[in-house]
Amino acid sequence: QSVLTQPPSVSAAPGQKVTISCSGSGSNIGKNYVSWYQQLPGTAPKLLIYDNNKRPSGIPDRFSGSKSGTSATLGITGLQTGDEADYYCGTWDSSLSAAVFGGGTKVTVL
Amino acid sequence: QVQLVESGGGVVQPGRSLGLSCAASGFTFSTHAMHWVRQAPGKGLEWVAVISYDGSKNYYADSVKGRFSISRDNSKNTLYLQMSSLRADDTAVYHCARDVSPSYYYYIDVWGKGTTVTVSS
């Protein structure tokens, strides 16, 4: 069981929008920044969002992040077939003194 | 360019030990905390351990505490993971990853492709 909870899967048609939730607690999301990672099939994870809502250079503005209380959300607009991947949220848990990831969400473009 | 290349994976019997290495290049290794993150077949990411830029601080996941040891040699730009008392559920791809912070955690911005560890008799 992951410390951070994500839905196992989400799907939408090309061009549509999906949101992925990441639920935690006061000792992790409630206290620390959240980052998001994209893992395309057969590849290493890639940083998508850091500091809850900032995008590294090269990440399109179709990807956005937000945080409220002990939950965070990743949004993907203008969905493309190339967005089909697993997405993970991550942060530090101050009580566990450990980095924690969500269980991952598979995005399917219908 | 920034690169992390893991090595040392293989097939090992339960209860035995194995050491992994991660060669870093393209950045100042000694100014970044470094992580090991693993992914079991068909499963999600599981954080394993982190070590601060100078090796003075390290933290471990409960699942590996007391069995795994993370270390680094800044003169060789290399990160290590020594694994002992290996179990079947340690079977995974082990990724080396760079943290933006020198301390222990802020966020991971660079990942290696990983090396595969299979624990089986």
Kindly report, residue by residue over A40-85, the tens digit of the pLDDT.
Answer: 999 999 999 999 999 999 999 999 999 999 999 999 999 999 999 9
Q: How do strand B10-12 and strand B115-119 relate by DSSP bridges?
A: parallel
Pairwise CB contact (< 8 Å): B47 & A2:
no
Distance (Å, whole) CA A45 – CA A55: 15
Residue matched to tokens 């969400």: A105
Kindly report, residue by residue over B73-114, the tens digit of the pLDDT.
Answer: 999 999 999 999 999 999 999 999 999 998 988 899 999 999
Q: What is the pLDDT of residue B104?
A: 84
Distance (Å, whole) CA B49 – CA B17: 17
- Please count the helices (runs of H) and the strands (runs of E) in chain A: 0, 9
CB atoms within 10 A of CB A16: 13
Phi/psi at B90 (5° precision): -90, -5
Q: What is the pLDDT of residue B16?
A: 98
Query: B106 contacts in A (CB within 8 Å)?
Result: 33
Mean pLDDT of B67-74: 98
Closest residue to B44, CB basis, from A44, A56, A104:
A104
Query: A101 contacts in B (CB within 8 Å)?
Result: 37, 44-47
Torsion sign (Cα): B12, B63, A36, B4: negative
Question: Does B100 contact A at CB distance below 8 Å?
Answer: yes
Query: A33 contacts in B (CB within 8 Å)?
Result: 106-107
Closest residue to B95, CB basis, from A44, A56, A97:
A44
User: What letter represents residue A99's amino acid?
Assistant: A
